[in-house]
Amino acid sequence: MNVFRLVGDLSHLLAIIILLLKIWKTRSCAGVSGKSQILFSLVFITRYLDLFTNFISVYNSVMKIIYLVTSLGTVYLMYFKFKATYDSNHDTFRIEFLVVPVGGLSFLVNHDFTPLEILWTFSIYLESVAILPQLFMISKTGEAETITSHYLFALGSYRALYIVNWVYRYYTEGFFDLIAIVAGCVQTILYCDFFYLYITKVLKGKQLKLPA
């Protein structure tokens, strides 16, 4: 473990907590893409199947459980408890266009052709594009609540910090995982225009409005 990965994990946890609190406190999931939340739940489920078979550390197991519970809890709040506030008219990204190609690619490019490894690879590839429905929804509505932009900033920062972690691990341990690195770079690049808007607008107290 290194500080970059730890701060990255905490940023990821912060993002998930921000979103959960936003939905719970405002009793509304307006402006939030339920499809992205479904994809994130799928990412955690397919990645953490080794939760009980491959013990890494208490921290690792506890965080996996927290991610699973909070992401499924968010999906539950969006599609059941506060379903009436779910904006399905703007959350129209065809996620099958993500899941199918990612599923195919995970069979073609992986470290090991075993069920657990293919599911892990699927999870890594899926996570890199899972935010697309959310970014698409914001581009359709043309704006995002400030709390949602904080959520996205924390979520985008987590994988950017993981990239720093991979550089650090490469130089200190000689460790590198090309699948995770390439997918992590794609994932972080997808946030770039949002990062620009966040830093130039939200941090100056303005509402996040996409140029029409």
Stretch that binds other proteins, among 28-36, 74-82, 99-107, 169-177 (CB under 8 A): 169-177
Beta strands at 208-209 and 143-144: parallel, antiparallel or unpaired: antiparallel
Angle at 122 between CA 74 and CA 16, to 5 degrees: 25
List binders of other proteins among 172-211 (CB under 8 A).
175-177, 179-180
The least distance separating other proteins from the CB of residue 54, rounded to whole angstroms, comes to 4
In this structure, the dihedral spanned by the alpha carbons of residues 93, 148, 70 and 114, taken in order and rounded to 10 degrees, is 40
Q: Which residues are CB-contacts of 92 (< 8 A; sequence separation ≥ 6)? A: 136, 137, 140
Task: Name the segment binding other proteins (CB under 8 A); options: 4-12, 25-33, 142-150, 196-204.
Answer: 4-12
Q: Check residue 112 for interaction with other proteins (CB under 8 A).
A: yes
Dihedral of CA 121/125/131/137: which sign?
A: negative
CA distances from 88 to 3, 36, 84, 124 (A): 39, 12, 10, 26
State the nearest-atom distance from the C-beta of 210 to other proteins, in Å: 31
x/- map, 64-103, other proteins, by CB under 8 A: x--x------------------------------------
Residue 118 engages other proteins in binding (rule: CB under 8 A): no
125 lies in the site for other proteins, by CB under 8 A? no
Show the binding pattern over residues 28-67: x = contacts other proteins (CB under 8 A), - = does not.
-------------------x--x---x-x---x--xx--x
- Give the dihedral of Cα atoms 129, 130, 136, 141; nearest 10 deg: -160
CB neighbours (10 Å) of residue 110?
18
Site of interaction with other proteins (CB under 8 A): 5, 9, 12, 47, 50, 54, 56, 60, 63-64, 67, 111-112, 117, 120, 162, 165, 175-177, 179-180
